[in-house]
Structure 1
Amino acid sequence: LTDKHLMEKYEKYLDKMLLLTEKEIKRTSASQIFNKLARFYNEKFLKIRDFYYNFLQRDVLNGYRYFEESKNIEIITCNATHGFLPLLCVNPSSVERQIELAVKSHQKHFGKKPKGIWLAECAYYDGLDKILAKHGIEYFFMDSHGLIYGKPTPRYGVFAPVYTEEKVAAFARDPESSKQVWSAKEGYPGDPNYRDFYRDIGFDLDFEYIKDFISPDGVRVYTGIKYYKVTGEVDLAQKKPYDPDKAYEMTQIHAGHFHISREKQMEHLSKYMDRLPLIVSPYDAELFGHWWFEGPDFLYHVFKMIQTYQQFKPITPSEYLEIYPENQVIRPSPSSWGDKGYFEVWLNPENQWVYKYLHQMEEDFLALKEKYGYNDIVKQMERELLLAQSSDWTFLITTQTAKHYATNRIKEHISNFYKLKEMLQTNIIDFEFLNRVKEKNSIFSDIL
């Protein structure tokens, strides 16, 4: 989020969206309904631009710092490149690096070490807590069954943290509150009044009109300008026009339902617990604003209601552990929050070929680092290895959503790694190639 190139691209994106919405205001001038929506989007992007330049000062992390310094949130870290740790632990040094760099990066950007970590895909394996403890991590999160199937059985289920044998706290997801928000069919985002994600002017409008706002190669993509609502179980062509005012009203209704549901849930749990119950409700950030356009408004109303009625309160993991420093010690079960709850999404016949490369690359890297020292080429090999370890590639291969892209990315990092290795061993340095990959794959260049 501090990458200069990324920020420049985002600023160009903002300019392009303002240009597109201005163009849409003119195009829809004959339609009161669609012209209102075009103006709605234009005003939204103007507000975002003002917020980005004036409040955030072109640095998204300033927003996180602001809320942490005002003691409203606690920022934690995550695996360095979202590596799926249970499948990397064949080489313990791979797991060590994912955690060590996560801590270093957090310390550089926020001035202190993180207390907690969000493990990629909530993926845990027996013994991971030793590495977390070694790097000062005090707590992590798991999916529900990772705690429930732990040994011994957790006394309070998922409604209180436990300690691992290394005294790292594990917090588990509450299924009920997660499902209410996350599920597109049973949860709030599926309400007919909310904005439909898939109906987009990038696909609806004439190519000549929209070509400057889609992929440069002419492939139609989502622009983010969407004029239709979920409507119901109907084809895209039968979707009805979106009404932002009605959708906003629904966020208030759903926030109220979520609030009263948590109040009743805690009231019920309190009858069987000798401490205040804790409800952990984690979601992918992309749900709020991306898949569920009105998600941020829902969150606003939820927190507003919590403040107004004061039947329960939001709390950080560290605050809860301060109130209840004594917790049951168990051995959590290996698990993830992926489909079927374990590792199948990231290891199956479609993507299993990846791991022989990842494991061999780790061994090669350690040997070359010891032989040649930690020079520029070895550092870039480490970056290529880290990028190849991202769990996103094997996930995308499994889901088939971007299989070719993911496959090509993995192969690119493997190829780069071994070309760099050859340069080291032959002492024939291709500086043009080296400088190109250093610029393109510059992740952690500030700490590596």
Structure 2
Amino acid sequence: MSIGYLALVLHAHLPFVRHPESDYVLEEEWLFEAITETYVPLILMFEGLKRDGVDFKLTMSLTPPLVSMLVDPLLQERYNDHLTQLEELTELEIKRHSQNGHMRYLAEHYAKEFNTVREVWERYNGNLITAFKAFQDSNNLEIITCGATHGYLPLMKMYPQAVWAQIKVAVEHYEQVFDRPPNGIWLPECAYYENLERMVADAGLRYFIMDGHGLLYARPRPRFGTYAPIFTETGVAAFGRDHESSQQVWSSVVGYPGSPEYREFYRDLGWDAEYEYIKPYVMPNGQRKNVGIKYHKITGKGLGLSDKSLYDPYWAREKAAEHAGNFAYNRERQVEHLHGIMQRKPIILSPYDAELFGHWWYEGPWFLDYLFRKTWFDQGTYEMTHLADYLADNPTQQVCRPSQSSWGYKGFHEYWLNDTNAWVYPHLHKAAERMIDLSRQEPADELEWRALNQAARELLLAQSSDWAFIMRTGTMVPYAVRRTRSHLMRFNKLWEDLGQGKVDSGWLEKVEAIDNIFPQVNYRVYRPL
């Protein structure tokens, strides 16, 4: 009989990037890369575990923007074309390296991988949500929600209606997609402010996930730290991240992903190959980009990309198995220690960005597969659980008030509010004020109804924490700035048109076709609470 629990939580999120107005936008490939390298490998892992009798348990957030993109016919068609290009390129690579044994071996490895992705993609008719939903229906996977567009909630708390819209629209979207209400929510960026749980409770959610120090500094101090959830005064549970198990996986410095045997993310065929050869597979303007075929391994710390050795999937998989065994061993010892102190079953909550597994850490899905199998077959100290099952089995917890927190740099809000992105918030706040005013308006006709709903979409899209995050990291900044400005400009035009009683129907139709997220949104969600 086990004496503790391990709860893995994967946060699957990408910002809503969809550009029907353009034939090619590089940022759409964020989704395509994640499908190939993360989402399909996870589905394959789930299928293999079920086939082999492993009754795995995993909690996974699928955010509304990600779900909306995965079910979008335009993006499905574009991904199909993207995958076709990868398949063509690997066939060329096999021919190009026909006389080089190891390079041909690597090219054939990628060809097999992309062919497998194709098989899964076609088996689910291009809609991967049906696959995730099937594993939720079997109670192996618990899918939870997030903010509607991953808005950073503490920085909009002065407008409770804006916070409510992020939560309520997400819950309603989840119900439309999964035919059931969600049990829990991954707070965007794990960002919490005091009394946020009241809106979480009003939306019908049972629990939320936050960073560990938000639990550790709760009032009163939780008796069991982060190794048991707390109940807020609303009855909603709060789970906190375990720092030890998290760092072992996500850190590229002290964690597993930095091992020399693993694939080097930053060296890619798109930059290595001769230009005329690779030109058909890069951007239409001829600019190079990553194509997703990477032939080298990390090799060692401090080496330049030109000094990297060739990758070998066999030895990388062996290392992933070793690391999975080490992780399981450490959790056994951790659980034994905690159980001895607590005299009850601890729960170790290990949350990660889903895209770490496969995209950033290529071997990550192998690691997870081995971990589930080793947990199921090789030990009895802890059991894996998802969070709804844990709460059903452990209905009594300490009541506390969590502390303001996030999982960002320094643990609070600095990463999303600093000299790189502070300029966006006066505009977002003004738009929120205007949207609250618009929510009181009754439409004169169907055109005004559509305009009011589109205004709600534009504000939600402008509020995405991804844009402020990108501005702070310094990568793809022009795109993040452009997206923020475009959504605010569209919102303000709608506000002006509605104020004048003259909605531009042709322009509105074009904007509806571009920013088509949440087709069933109701602008009245912004009405004063």
Give SS of 1:157's match: coil
Give the Cα separation in 1 of the matches to 2:439 and 2:341.
56
Are the equivalent residues in 1 in contact too, given 2:335–2:381 (CA < 8 A)? no
2:298 aligned partner, one-letter code: V
Residue aligning to 2:233: 165
Give SS of 1:37's match: helix
Instruction: Determine which of 126, 131, 138 is the counterpart of 1:58.
Output: 126
How many residues are treated as equivalent by the alignment? 447
Residue aligning to 1:391: 465
Instruction: Determine which of 184, 208, 211 is the counterpart of 2:279.
Output: 211
More moved, 432-441 vs 301-310: 432-441
Give the Cα separation in 2 of the matches to 1:5 and 1:127.
40
2:510 aligned partner, one-letter code: R
Residues 267-326 of structure 1, C-alpha deviations (whole Å, 9 max, x = no match): 010111121010000000110000000100100000000110233111111211122211
Shift of 1:423: 2.2
Give the Cα separation in 2 of the matches to 1:241 and 1:432.
55
Q: TM-score, normalised by structure 1?
A: 0.98
Give SS of 1:271's match: helix
Q: TM-score, normalised by structure 2?
A: 0.83
Instruction: Determine which of 364, 368, 383 is the counterpart of 1:313.
Output: 383
Change (3 A) 1:211 1:446: farther
Does the alignment pair 1:21 with 2:90? Answer: yes
More moved, 204-213 vs 80-89: 204-213
2:208 aligned partner, one-letter code: F
Q: Structure 1 unaligned segments of length 5 or more: list them.
A: none
Are the equivalent residues in 1 in contact too, given 2:409–2:415 (CA < 8 A)? yes
Which has a greater percent of strand? 2
Shift of 1:29: 1.5
Shift of 1:447: 4.2
Instruction: Determine which of 53, 74, 78 is the counterpart of 2:146.
Output: 78
Q: Structure 2 unaligned segments of length 5 or more: list them.
A: 1-69, 523-529
1:217 aligned partner, one-letter code: N
Give the Cα separation in 2 of the matches to 1:74 and 1:397.
32
Give the Cα separation in 2 of the matches to 1:167 and 1:447.
28
1:111 aligned partner, one-letter code: D
Residue aligning to 1:138: 206
Give SS of 2:383's match: coil
Does the alignment pair 1:34 with 2:103? Answer: yes
Residue aligning to 2:395: 325
1:243 aligned partner, one-letter code: D
1:253 aligned partner, one-letter code: E
Residues 356-375 of structure 1, C-alpha deviations (whole Å, 9 max, x = no match): 11111111122223234361
Residue aligning to 2:223: 155
1:108 aligned partner, one-letter code: Q
2:483 aligned partner, one-letter code: R
Shift of 1:425: 2.7
Shift of 1:431: 3.0
Does the alignment pair 1:352 with 2:417? Answer: no
Give SS of 2:185's match: strand
Give SS of 2:344's match: coil
1:407 aligned partner, one-letter code: V
Does the alignment pair 1:198 with 2:269? Answer: no
More moved, 154-163 vs 202-211: 202-211
Which one has more relative contact order, counting CA pairs under 8 Å at least 6 apart? 2
Give the Cα separation in 2 of the matches to 1:267 and 1:274.
10
Residue aligning to 1:8: 77
Q: Report the RMSD for the aligned CA atoms in angstroms.
A: 1.2
1:46 aligned partner, one-letter code: N
Query: Percent identity of the aligned residues?
Result: 46
Does the alignment pair 1:247 with 2:316? Answer: yes
Residue aligning to 2:343: 274
Shift of 1:433: 2.0
Instruction: Determine which of 114, 119, 141 is the counterpart of 2:187.
Output: 119
Residue aligning to 1:379: 453
Residues 110-140 of structure 1, C-alpha deviations (whole Å, 9 max, x = no match): 1110010011100000010000000111101
Residue aligning to 1:259: 328
Residue aligning to 2:18: none
1:247 aligned partner, one-letter code: A
Give the Cα separation in 2 of the matches to 1:366 and 1:150.
32
